[in-house]
Amino acid sequence: MSAVPQGLDATHAPDTQSWVESANAPGTDFPIQNLPFGRFRHNELEPWQIGVAIGDRVLDLHATGLIDHNDMHRLMAAPVAQRRALRLAIWEGLREGSALQKVWADALLRQTEVELGLPCEVGDYTDFYTGIHHATTVGKLFRPDNPLLPNYKWVPIGYHGRASSIGASGQQFHRPMGQTLKPGATVPDFGPSARIDYELELGVWVGMGNALGAPVSIADAEEHVFGLTLLNDWSARDVQAWEYQPLGPFLAKNFATTVSPWLVTMEALAPFRAPFVRDAADPQPLPYLDGEANRAQGALDVQLEVWLQTPAMRAAGDAGVRLSQSNMRDAYWTLAQLVAHHTVNGCNLRAGDLLGTGTLSGPAPEQGGSLLELTQGGKQPITLPNGEVRTFLQDGDTIILRGACEAAGARRIGFGDCRGTLLAVR
């Protein structure tokens, strides 16, 4: 199997307008150049249906006649050529002047009038650690002279997480309980975590799977990625500090993970490719993690933001405050490298599997993708514009992740919000 070129086509033309007026607004996340996939329903008694975001609307894909099912796994598992053909057909039907406007008008619903859920049911979840700036900053808190462990620059580090607690934007969860070891103590306490944190990540959703025992080469790896969402890997830092050795994260991570509901496809991301360049002083990737296409355009230019809305802000009608900004381009490993590494031992990925990138922080201190970084482990509290102070999250706090792609000669596209709220301990 040969690698699929990551080229542009008619669907990326920046001047294309849609007959859905809201899709033409300058600030929309969902212009006709995006066309992300997700699932919606009118109420909890109805089955999930496949939709495509266009402006402030949802296009019921089954109602258009373009698909004869509402099985997202089946759609995601299709070969790349079929996915591109479907994208082109949707684009043709939604563009200004389309003969399908009258036919498809009844298939459009307001996003505010439906429930948006997980893009698909998650089979397995793996969280990686691709953010070298996050890894370095956190490492310095515990190992000032040797922040990165010797294997970090050689192997994409990851762990297998819990799929059952992954929820869509709007997820609310209770402050978790667990064991913690207070400074100077020799016996752990049990009780509510006092150090709940967020982690700014992207979710990588597997489309076409691979057979057990059949590794995916780096040249073919992106054929197996359907698209990306935002992902918040909530963390109980005090629980994590006590439990993570010797086998890594467990209860500190599995109580909640939040993703945005719209899957931005790899096809939509084509205009925002960037070269993948490893510092000459660093170890170069081993052959199975290296390839010409990956070097030429393996990185993605995705701008990311974290926002905090406290209960006091919400009561005052304040949308919140931006805590940090970063970019996916700073990740130490590419999507293709993650897939190639995940399968090199014969592990089989399946449609709907989710891979987290790990926390995507920038090189500057103010670009930390977690409170652990921004507050230096709680030692430097953050004073918010309204006078409130935070080291870690308090009950009622809402974190909103946002992401967008912009490039010369391309229409801006976005991911929609990834919103989650911490509730008091149950």
Q: Is the pTM of this model over 0.95?
A: yes
Q: Are residues 109 and 132 in the same domain?
A: no
- Compute CA distances 1 → 206, 219, 374, whole Å: 18, 9, 45
Q: Are residues 178 and 306 in the same domain?
A: yes
d(CA 73, CA 53): 18
Quick one: average pLDDT of 255-260?
98
d(CA 332, CA 245): 24
Q: Are residues 79 and 160 in the same domain?
A: no
- Indicate whether 5 belongs to any domain: no
Q: Are residues 109 and 130 in the same domain?
A: no
d(CA 39, CA 401): 20
pLDDT in the model for residue 146 = 87
Q: Are residues 372 and 258 in the same domain?
A: yes
Task: Tell me the backbone φ, ψ of residue 226, rounded to 5 degrees.
Answer: -85, -45
Residue that terminates a domain, selected from 116, 135, 151: 116
Query: H-helix or E-strand containing 176?
Result: none
Q: What is the CATH number of the domain that holds 410?
A: 3.90.850.10
- Indicate whether 1 belongs to any domain: no
Taking the alpha carbons at both ends of the chain, their separation in whole angstroms is 52
Q: Which of 238, 138, 143 is nearest to 182 (CA)?
A: 238
d(CA 139, CA 144): 7
Q: Are residues 111 and 150 in the same domain?
A: no
pLDDT in the model for residue 1 = 39
pLDDT at 5 over 60: no
Task: Tell me the backbone φ, ψ of residue 360, rounded to 5 degrees.
Answer: -105, 90
pLDDT in the model for residue 2 = 39
Q: Are 354 and 118 in contact (CB under 8 A)?
A: no
Based on the structure, what is the number of domains in the chain?
2
- Indicate whether 3 belongs to any domain: no
Q: Which of 50, 74, 75, 76 is nearest to 63 (CA)?
A: 50
Across 9-112, where does the E strand assignment appear? 37-41, 49-54, 57-60, 108-110
Cβ of 325: how many Cβ atoms within 10 Å?
16
pLDDT at 186 over 90: yes
pLDDT at 382 over 70: yes
Residue 190 in 3-state DSSP? Answer: strand
Q: Which domain holds residue 52?
A: 10-116
Segments in 37-100 forming alpha helices (H): 61-64, 72-76, 80-94
Average pLDDT across the chain, whole number: 96
d(CA 308, CA 235): 16
Per-residue pLDDT band at 145 (split at 50, 70, 90): confident
Q: Are residues 40 and 136 in the same domain?
A: no
pLDDT in the model for residue 6 = 56
Segments in 330-407 forming alpha helices (H): 335-343, 371-374
Q: Are residues 257 and 158 in the same domain?
A: yes
Residue 72 in 3-state DSSP? Answer: helix
Q: How many residues make up the chain in this entry?
A: 426
- Indicate whether 37 belongs to any domain: yes
Q: Percentage of the chain with pLDDT > 90?
A: 97
Token digits of residue 116: 């948006």
Q: Are residues 373 and 410 in the same domain?
A: yes
Q: Are residues 336 and 390 in the same domain?
A: yes
- Indicate whether 186 belongs to any domain: yes
Quick one: average pLDDT of 196-218?
98
Q: What is the pLDDT of residues 83-136, one digit of tens each?
A: 999 999 999 999 999 999 999 999 999 999 999 999 999 999 999 999 999 999
d(CA 92, CA 324): 38
Q: Are residues 148 and 254 in the same domain?
A: yes
Q: Are residues 328 and 386 in the same domain?
A: yes
- Indicate whether 252 belongs to any domain: yes
The residues assigned a catalytic role are 134
Residue that terminates a domain, selected from 51, 81, 116: 116
Residue that terminates a domain, selected from 66, 89, 116: 116
3-state helix, strand, coil in the chain (%, to 5): 25, 25, 50
Segments in 246-360 forming alpha helices (H): 292-297, 311-315, 335-343
- What is the DSSP code (8-state) at residue 284? P
Q: What is the CATH number of the domain that holds 26?
A: 2.30.30.230
Cβ of 170: how many Cβ atoms within 10 Å?
16
- Indicate whether 4 belongs to any domain: no
Pairing of strands 264-265, 225-232: antiparallel
Quick one: average pLDDT of 162-167?
98
- Indicate whether 61 belongs to any domain: yes
Tokens 């752990």 belong to 188
Quick one: average pLDDT of 289-314?
98
- What is the DSSP code (8-state) at residue 269? T
